[in-house]
Amino acid sequence: MKPLPPGSTIGILGGGQLGRMLSIAAAQLGFDVAIFTDEPDSPAGRVSAKTMVGNYLDTAALADFARRVDVVTTEFENVPAQTAEALIAAGARVAPNPRALAIAQDRFDEKSFFASMGIATPPFRAIASQADLDAAIAAIGAPAILKTRRLGYDGRGQIRINSGADAAGAYEKLGAPGILEGFCAFEREVSIIAARGWDGAIAFYDLCENEHSGGILSRTTLPARVDAKVTQSARHAVTQVLNAFDYVGVLTIEFFVMPDGSLVANEMAPRVHNSGHWTIEGALTSQFEQQIRAVAGWPLGPTNCVAGIEMLNLIGEDANAWEALAADPDVRLHLYGKRDVRGGRKMGHVTKLKFS
Ligand code: AMP
């Protein structure tokens, strides 16, 4: 694709903090951003040139959006794949493509996709009834985790099953089609963030080491405490995924690192990722700028990590400490402009850089 010239308009589906940081990066390169969101007064909308508030399934509104933008990308994976299809039907260029969105939205399809490429996953079974669950526990064993197939994120929609007895009534409690996954006694969690351009060029960021609390990412550090072989296998896996989708943009895969050093894929996100927020100050090209470069047909930027990194999420009331954080010369503070502080809500993050 011919590179979009500065002054072009990048359309972003979704109005959250990822869209906000994408929009800021796009502005730095001279682009305008138009946000399409169902949320009035969104964090991304408030820093973007235009916002269209509409329903993601309103084909007339999407056709109007398609006419106003030069390319469309997404900031959250639960945007219906039909939305991307409707935009394409209306003549828009959309990256990533609807197939990648559709597969990443369903945990069973996603794990089946990994498995089809030889990427290791926890043992898993689709669950559509209590009988399925009982049979899956008999096959996989406990402990295991029952998750909703769709719309689960940040640990929501998950039930831990420590023994066969915990399974009683668990399907009803889940309340939706699910997937049972064997529990992985991992040594640590890592993610790989990579980008692919329209021309097939791929760039990788250094592996991120992630800690979760209550299912929500709390801390990312670099360098990850893994040997070079682990990085190589993460790069190999993400390359296969990017190429299989003919993907354009940034994509993230989260892995468990097992005690023997092998990687087990947990999930993928067809977008920029929370574990990559450190790239704003800590890499030569941020993941947000990289996504804009990729979808705009620009060359991908260098991804070198320039320091030791610690990124901490500000969840809920953590963000009330903004005054002290702003006064701390060792932290770079990012706040997402969310109007209400709520428990479990990602309000901002801080990044600490260590130069040796
Ligand atoms: P998810 O929303 O599926 O990414 O799950 C959130 C977090 O729960 C993960 O980052 C892990 O810390 C934990 N988790 C999820 N699935 C498993 C699993 N199969 N085995 C062990 N821990 C898991």
Q: Is 181 in the pocket of ligand 1 (CB under 6 A)?
A: yes
User: Cα dihedral sign for 162, 166, 171, 173?
Assistant: negative
Q: What is the pLDDT of residue 107?
A: 96
Domain contains 345: yes
Backbone angles phi, psi at 35, to 5 degrees: -100, 135
Q: What is the CATH number of the domain that holds 338?
A: 3.30.470.20
My answer on whether 166 and 193 are in the same domain is no
- Which 3 state secondary structure label does DSSP give 189? strand
How far apart are the C-alpha atoms of 66 and 36, rounded to whole Å?
Answer: 10
**Same domain for 193 and 176?**
no
* Domain membership flag for residue 114: no
- Tell me the DSSP string of 243-266: HHHT--EEEEEEEEEPTTS-EEEE
For ligand 1, whether the C-beta of 178 sits within 6 Å is no
User: Could you tell me if residue 290 is inside a domain?
Assistant: yes
Nearest CA to ligand 1 atom 9: 215
Candidates 183, 28, 13, 153; CA nearest to 95 is 13
Tell whether 205 and 301 lie within a shared domain.
yes
pLDDT on residue 65? 98
As averages over each run of 10 residues, the pLDDT of the chain (356 residues) reads 97 98 98 97 97 98 98 92 96 96 96 98 97 95 95 75 89 92 98 98 98 94 97 98 98 98 97 98 98 98 98 97 98 96 94 95
If asked whether residues 129 and 155 sit together in one domain, one would say yes
User: Does any domain span residue 112?
Assistant: no
Measured from the CA of 144, which atom of ligand 1 is nearest? 19
> C-alpha angle 275/120/313, rounded to 5°?
15
Q: Is the CB of 184 under 6 A from ligand 1?
A: yes
Dist. CA 184 → ligand 1 center (Å): 8
The answer on 21 and 54 residing in a single domain is yes
- Domain check: are 169 and 213 in the same one? no
Domain boundary pick from 142, 161, 182: 182
Predicted TM-score (pTM) of this structure: 0.97
Among protein residues, the one whose CA lies closest to atom 17 of ligand 1? 183
Residue 22 confidence (pLDDT):
98
> In 10 A of CB 260, how many CB atoms?
6
Phi and psi at 36, nearest 5°, equal -115, 120
Q: Domain limits at 65?
A: 9-94
pLDDT score of 151 = 82
CB half-sphere exposure, 226, CA atoms < 13 A: 31
Bridge partners of 252, per DSSP, are 193, 269
Is residue 19 assigned to a domain? yes
353, two tokens? 């850089």
| Pair of tokens at residue 221 | 């550090």
Q: Which atom of ligand 1 is nearest to the CA of 154?
A: 2
CA 29, 307, 186 angle in degrees (round to 5)? 105
Q: Is residue 265 part of a domain?
A: yes
> How far, in Å, is the centroid of ligand 1 from the Cα of 275?
15
Which CATH number goes with the domain that contains 161?
Answer: 3.30.1490.20
- pLDDT the model gives residue 47: 98
- Residue 195 sits in the same domain as residue 327: yes
Ligand 1 contact, 189 CB (< 6 A): yes
Single residue among 94, 113, 133 that ends a domain in this structure: 94
Decide which of 48, 79, 94 is a domain's last residue: 94
pLDDT score at 153: 61
Tell me how far apart the alpha carbons of residues 98 and 88 are, in angstroms, rounded to a whole number: 9
Q: Is 294 in the pocket of ligand 1 (CB under 6 A)?
A: no
Ligand 1 pocket residue status of 275, Cβ below 6 Å: no
- At 316 the three-state DSSP class reads helix
Which atom of ligand 1 is found nearest the CA of 185? 21
Ligand 1: centre distance to CA 136 (Å): 18
Question: Are residues 211 and 175 part of one domain?
Answer: no
| 321 and 241 in a common domain | yes
Residues 141 and 40 reside in one and the same domain: no
Q: In 10 A of CB 118, how many CB atoms?
A: 9
CB 133 within 8 A of CB 147: no
Q: Kindly compute the dihedral angle of the four CA atoms of residues 274, 192, 218, 166, in this order, to the nearest 10 degrees.
A: 110
CATH of residue 24's domain is 3.40.50.20
Domains in the chain: how many in total?
3
Indicate if 175 and 318 belong to the same structural domain.
Answer: no
Q: Which pLDDT belongs to residue 149?
A: 94
Is residue 4, in this structure, part of any structural domain at all?
Answer: no
Within-domain flag for 88: yes
Whether residue 259 has a cis bond before it, omega within 30° of 0: no
Prior bond of 270 cis (ω within 30°): no
